[in-house]
Amino acid sequence: MGHDCLVKAKWAQILIIWVLVAILTVWTLLQSHYDDHLAEATFGAILAGSIATVSLLQLFQNNAEGFVRKLVYVGGGSYLILAAATVYLFLKG
């Protein structure tokens, strides 16, 4: 029973970071509708922030179990969200 709670907590952290990345991505697209290059530069900061966030959460939890998996999931999911936004910018322009 305890293991299921840990797995759900790990996925909750990952999903929350993905939601934050999606919100920041949409906000960036709305704010920089005149300058696509600014949006693309901001996407890099958003991706770096998602990786930094999962790293800080892991540091404060003081538990190395599943750290690399979280990094891969957060980084991969964030990258896909931002890649979709970049495709949108490309098709829009």
> What is the per-residue pLDDT across 48-64, written as a single tens digit (0 to 9) for each?
999 999 999 888 887 77
Rounded Cα distance, 42 and 56, in Å? 21
Q: Are 2 and 38 in contact (CB under 8 A)?
A: no
Q: pTM, whole model, 2 decimals?
A: 0.87
68 pLDDT more than 80: yes
Tokens 């919100």 correspond to 23
